[in-house]
Amino acid sequence: MSSKRRTITILGLAGSPRYGGNTELLLDAFLAGATDAGGKVEKRRLAQLSIAGCIACDRCQGTGYCIVKDDFQPIDERLVAADVIALAAPLFFANLPAQVKALVDRSQCQWVRKFLRKDPLPVSTAGYTRRRGIFLCVAGAINEDFSGVMRTVKYFFDLYETDFWADLRFEDIVAKGAIEAHPTALRTAFNLGVRAVQESVFHDSIAACDHPQV
Ligand SMILES: Cc1cc2nc3c(=O)[nH]c(=O)nc-3n(C[C@H](O)[C@H](O)[C@H](O)COP(=O)(O)O)c2cc1C
């Protein structure tokens, strides 16, 4: 534990193509909490970006970088820079919406950097070797199976040296804005944002952080 207080950079990725929808409301609440706790927040809507799918050309095996130039590169840079990564996305056919999955698949070049080239990831903005990952998810159905999406998100976080620190999952939320009628969801997301920053600021490393029960 270090006594040096750090400014924590939080990257919030809104993954739903429905702007202002349930997962984006959760993300906004989380980011408001993170801001309240003194964090520096950046938000990107993935559906507003142009990120093509991976074409499996394997050219990244030569350099560690993707030859397809689009909005992937700036997001890749922000993922490396972030101390906390909050991904918000609804369940679409038991997994991530295509716009988010495109980002995940394009991260194959980071897989190459990490596992084939064994390039160490640069430290985050606050100087951490490990980042803190949060997944905010909503499903329309009751008793949904989140295991597929959780696994995909974990693989993605792993690439960017990010511990899967917390997730919030809500079921039976269908219509746009329905999450606002949930008795605790937005407050819980806000509190998690506060906690994500507060528990990061004084740490030398956030590698061994607990997965909080929320
Ligand atoms: C293309 C599509 C696929 C969906 N697939 C599922 C699913 O597999 N399971 C489920 O419970 N809900 C599914 N839903 C419902 C959404 O998860 C739900 O409406 C959610 O509240 C949307 O969140 P958003 O407002 O952030 O977009 C699907 C919705 C769409 C549009």
Tens-place pLDDT, residues 79-107: 999 999 999 999 999 999 999 999 999 99
pLDDT of 5 reads 78
Q: What strands lie across the sheet with 131-138, from one edge to the other? A: 40-45, 9-14, 84-90, 131-138, 162-170
Tell me, in angstroms, the distance from the centre of ligand 1 to residue 65's CA: 33
CA of 169 to the centre of ligand 1 (A): 12
Using one digit for the tens of pLDDT, what is the confidence trace for 8-26?
Answer: 999 999 999 999 999 999 9
What is the rounded distance in angstroms from the CA atom of residue 3 to the CA atom of residue 200?
Answer: 12
Mean pLDDT of 130-156: 97
Q: Walk me through the domains of the chain, giving residue ranges and CATH numbers.
A: 9-198 (3.40.50.360)
Concatenating the DSSP letter of every residue in 47-63 gives GGS--PPP----THHHH
**What number does the ligand 1 atom closest to the CA of 16 have?**
27
Specify the residue with its C-alpha closest to ligand 1, atom 22. 90
* Confidence label for 202 from pLDDT (cuts 50, 70 and 90): low
- The stretch 137-143 carries a mean pLDDT of 98
**3-state per-residue secondary structure call for 13-25:** EECCCCCCCHHHH
Do residues 19 and 47 touch, judged by C-beta distance below 8 A?
A: yes
Q: How confident is the model at residue 200 (pLDDT cuts 50, 70, 90)?
A: confident
Q: Which of 26, 87, 93 for a ligand 1 pocket mutation test, highest count of atoms within 8 Å of Cβ?
A: 93
